[in-house]
Amino acid sequence: MSTFSNSTIFEVKQVSSTSSSQGVFATSPIPASTTILTDSNPLLALPINHTLPSTSISHPEEKLKLYAQSFVNSEPGERQKWLELCAPELPKDLVQMVNKVSEEALSFTLVSPKPTLTSTARAVVVAMANCFEDGLLYVSGLSRFNHSCNPNAIYLPTSQNGKHVKALRDITPGEEITVSYLGLKVYAGRSERRRILLESKFFQCSCRRCLDSKVSLRPDFTRTIPCPFCHPRSSSHALPEEVAWEEVDVSYIQLADEGESAGVCKRCNTTLAPSHPCIVTEDKVTKKILSFLSSPESSTSSPDDMDVDEDTEMEDEMYALSLSTLGPRHWATVQVQMLTLDRACHEINRKLLVGGTIEEVELAEAIDVCERLFDWFGGLGKFGGDRALAKQCVTIARALVSFEDDKSKAYGRQWIEKVEEWITNFESEGLQIAIASIKGDGGQEGGGKKKRR
């Protein structure tokens, strides 16, 4: 707690005079990559099998039970700290579940004095809103940073149970310090981002990026489709193939979520009505992709699965659907492509580890996807692509260097240079060692001494 309240670079205060909610604000200039706050002592650490993949929006009863039990069995002093964190209002069905698990936890405990039902229920809500996806809850202030869909700071893991907040870019005095609670879903469209935040953290996001795309001042780059007037679609709403693959000069429309127009094409100047068939298709296809993305089949974390082929097939199908109807620059297409790239990199890493042969074709494909994604992620600022693709770039570099000819080595170094600044400032030591060794391998004379152009 002391590190938090004694900070000389930020303060906690009300977000605005009209709002009761608090936020963290810079009190002095904070240069990019400054560590703003570190905490390695979580108040609560759920067993690992109860953690959920990032951006999972569910609050299963099993998890709520653990929150209630942990609270009831903790020291009175710790309980007090726990209750000081914010507890948002929950939807009715969840309130019932919270009360049920709280009553159960209280009836089964032998501790004395027991906390009240009201405080136990409040503690469960606090944990639901403030627990990180890895099951850790901190009281120090890590949870006090508000969310933004275009944040100026980021949460990063430190030690096993630790996290810190680092500045993503220079932050000026008086500016609110914000982080994203969304993981890679921060690159999803506005309505999807807001739905996740509402269902998992129980608030309506009103960050700049969300508000701007609502009033169509600056449509969100994540919802971009080829203009249906410049590029007429087939009767089944499919894009011409050369448009989907960007073999011609494509005119894109960035879609706004609300308002009388869904967007305007800069080339033909036509206004797209929200009821236009291509918007209806966009909605349908996006929903389908989303349900695929949140299904267990889309998880790349279980490579030993028997059904890898089946998963890949489904993934290819989703990619084809998304690409042929939404085009290559829509966030739904990008999210499926991320899966494809992760899978490819996983396989390349596996081969590097066991000394298998990496086919030039598979590497070329990964490189092609990664390049496209890199450009796209860059739409959210300086560190967009680096943040989303650092590990994948390192895999590609490693594979290139493994070919051992000078040309591949030089190309491998270029991939490291793309993400070097990001990795040096923000990634784990493991990844930093990895890039140092790739640069060492790739360097000619001077064995590992870096030569910058």
Is 207 a residue that touches Zn ion (CB under 5 A)? Answer: yes
Please give the Cα distance from 277 to 252 (Å, whole number).
16
Is 280 a residue that touches Zn ion (CB under 5 A)? Answer: no
Instruction: Work out which of 4, 203, 229, 245 binds Zn ion, going by CB under 5 A.
Output: 229
Instruction: Work out which of 265, 336, 394, 401 binds Zn ion, going by CB under 5 A.
Output: 265
Q: Which residue has the tokens 């930020």?
A: 10
Using CB under 5 A, which of the segments 210-218, 239-247, 404-412, 428-436 binds Zn ion?
Answer: 210-218
| Residue positions counted in the chain | 453
SS (H, E, C) 130-179: HCCCCCEECCCCHHHCEECCCCCEEEEECCCCCEEEEECCCECCCCECEE
Nearest approach, Cβ of residue 379 and Zn ion (Å): 15
Which one-letter amino acid corresponds to residue 33? S
Nearest approach, Cβ of residue 215 and Zn ion (Å): 13
String of contacts with Zn ion for each residue 36-55, x by CB under 5 A = --------------------
Nearer to Zn ion, 119 or 216 (CB): 216
Contact 154, 178 (CB under 8 A): no
String of contacts with Zn ion for each residue 131-150, x by CB under 5 A = ------------------x-
Nearest approach, Cβ of residue 145 and Zn ion (Å): 14
Kind and range of the H or E run holding 439: helix 429-442
Is 268 a residue that touches Zn ion (CB under 5 A)? Answer: yes
Which one-letter amino acid corresponds to residue 294? S
Using CB under 5 A, which of the segments 46-54, 226-234, 236-244, 282-290 binds Zn ion?
Answer: 226-234
What residues from 244 to 263 belong to the interface with Zn ion (CB under 5 A)?
251
DSSP-derived letter for residue 181 is: S
Q: Which residue has the tokens 């069995």?
A: 73
CA distances from residue 226 to 140, 235, 264 in whole angstroms, order as listed:
47, 16, 11
Instruction: Work out which of 26, 94, 227, 256 binds Zn ion, going by CB under 5 A.
Output: 227
Label residues 281-303 b or e (16+ Cβ within 10 Å = b): bbeebbeebbebbeeeebebeee
Is 272 a residue that touches Zn ion (CB under 5 A)? Answer: no
Is 278 a residue that touches Zn ion (CB under 5 A)? Answer: no
Residues that bind Zn ion (CB under 5 A): 149, 205, 207, 210, 227, 229-230, 251, 265, 267-268
